[in-house]
Amino acid sequence: MLDLASSAGPHATPLSGGALAGTRIERIETQIVDIPTVRQHKLSSLSTTQQNYVLVRVRTADGVEGVGEAATLGGPRWSEESVEGIKATIDTYLAPAIIGMEAAGFEAVGRTLAEAAKRNNAAKAAIESALFDAVGKTLGIPASALLGGAVRDRIRVLWTLASGDPEQEVAEAEKKLAERKHNIFKVKIGAKPAAEDMARLRRIAAALEGRAELIVDANQAWSETTALRCFDEMDEMGIALVEQPLPAWDVAGMARLRARTRVPIMADEAIFSEHDAFVVGQAAAADVVSLKLVKHGGLLGTRRVAAVAEAAGIGLYGGCLLESSVGAAAHLQVFAALPRLDWHCEHFGPQILKDDLVTAPLRFEDFHILLPQGPGLGITLDEDKVARYARG
């Protein structure tokens, strides 16, 4: 059997001829862009007023350019990757390893990237997104068609309340409801003592009662005892889902918590790889998983995690890291092709940015985000905007 990836290295044998004959990867370029947010976004361990991305452009032999994006949140504080590190890793290790390979050989490229660098999932995800964009454009089909085909053209989308000021948050939620953009809200908690967060949540829950659903994200902030106390209160308030209440490593704690509460638990930072999903599933430690390209290393990795989670009875939620329309579009392409996505998605990123990087930003309509139409990821970079927000 001819092995196309490992021994072949940078000049793997072409996988296919015909329409894909010209998808040999010729050039990969990276660029850091910084876009301010419309307000401060506060998580348990970080606060930010600008989003930082690495844009990746892959050019194929026949001149097609594919685009991908790696998002970070607050530098290397949400996960270990920063835009500076992502750019350096791609430029120095990942790009040279796959120049000359066929863009359409997604699995072969993925294996070569895995050999070139451990983890670095956001960096790998941005490259893979650009490959899907380039191949989709080459064939004139959406990336979702390369993943089995879309089963939905829109996804219910929630908004995150994260200023930390409950009065501002109620006003923000009211505006989103009135605009019919969002009627599920995720409240970011964990930056303050739990009692203060519970009071804040009560205020928001009372104001929106009967008109919106609420979920919360503690971003690993709590101990098991704090979580137990809060879960009872949140159950009373009707909170629909609690995301990552305990540190990512505390899978056993999540399982104990889950056994003692009626409020469903979502794993976010606890599940990066499909192996993590297997461990969490085996421990019965979560009801739902938040899927993100930056965690799973790309569209194919996201599908692998989704498959393992589903096999363990864990529901799927379309997570984000406040991507621009570029990164959000890549997520929507894979989310649209998942047979089930029971817990909706949170790709509000393009709406929290003061500006976007594409000529036609993603559309939000009637509490849904729409899958962009068109080949590849379905978006086109606005080069003026890219130049305006490019670092340096």
Helix, strand, coil percentages, rounded to 5, for the chain: 40, 20, 40
Task: Identify whether 175 is a catalytic site residue.
Answer: no
For Mg ion, which is the closer residue by CB, 190 or 297? 190
Of 116, 69, 115, 67, the C-alpha closest to 350 is 69
Min dist. Cβ of residue 14 to Mg ion (A): 40
Site string (75-114) toward Mg ion, x via CB under 5 A = ----------------------------------------
For ligand MUC, which is the closer residue by CB, 188 or 200? 188
First CA to last CA across the chain, in angstroms? 48
Element (H, E) at 70: strand 65-72
Interatomic CA distance for residues 64 and 206, integer angstroms: 52
- 346 lies in the binding site for Mg ion (CB under 5 A): no
For ligand MUC, which is the closer residue by CB, 56 or 241? 241
Question: Binding partner of residue 250 among Mg ion, ligand MUC, none, CB under 5 to 8 Å per kind?
Answer: none
Q: How many helices (H) and strands (E) does the chain have?
A: 14, 13
Interatomic CA distance for residues 386 and 304, integer angstroms: 32
Question: Binding partner of residue 356 among Mg ion, ligand MUC, none, CB under 5 to 8 Å per kind?
Answer: none
Interatomic CA distance for residues 28 and 59, integer angstroms: 6
Min dist. Cβ of residue 38 to ligand MUC (A): 13
Of 313, 347, 344, the C-alpha closest to 331 is 347
Interatomic CA distance for residues 106 and 165, integer angstroms: 45
Q: Does residue 154 contact residue 321 with C-beta atoms inside 8 Å?
A: no
Question: Binding partner of residue 320 among ligand MUC, Mg ion, none, CB under 5 to 8 Å per kind?
Answer: ligand MUC
Name every residue whose Cβ is closer than 8 Å to that of residue 214 and which is 6 or more positions away in sequence: 184, 185, 186, 187, 201, 204, 205, 208, 237, 238, 239, 240
Of 294, 336, 366, the C-alpha closest to 52 is 294
Min dist. Cβ of residue 100 to ligand MUC (A): 36
Min dist. Cβ of residue 175 to ligand MUC (A): 17
For Mg ion, which is the closer residue by CB, 138 or 220? 220
Question: Binding partner of residue 162 among ligand MUC, Mg ion, none, CB under 5 to 8 Å per kind?
Answer: ligand MUC
Using CB under 5 A, pick the residue from 128, 268, 310, 356 that binds Mg ion. Answer: 268
The active-site residue, picked from 176, 188, 292, 295, is 188
For ligand MUC, which is the closer residue by CB, 34 or 115? 34
Min dist. Cβ of residue 95 to ligand MUC (A): 27
Using CB under 5 A, pick the residue from 81, 133, 217, 356 that binds Mg ion. Answer: 217
User: Which residues lie near ligand MUC (CB under 6 A)?
Assistant: 73, 160, 162, 188, 217, 219, 268, 319-321, 346
Catalytic residues: 188
Instruction: Write out the residues near Mg ion by the rule CB under 5 A.
Output: 217, 243, 268
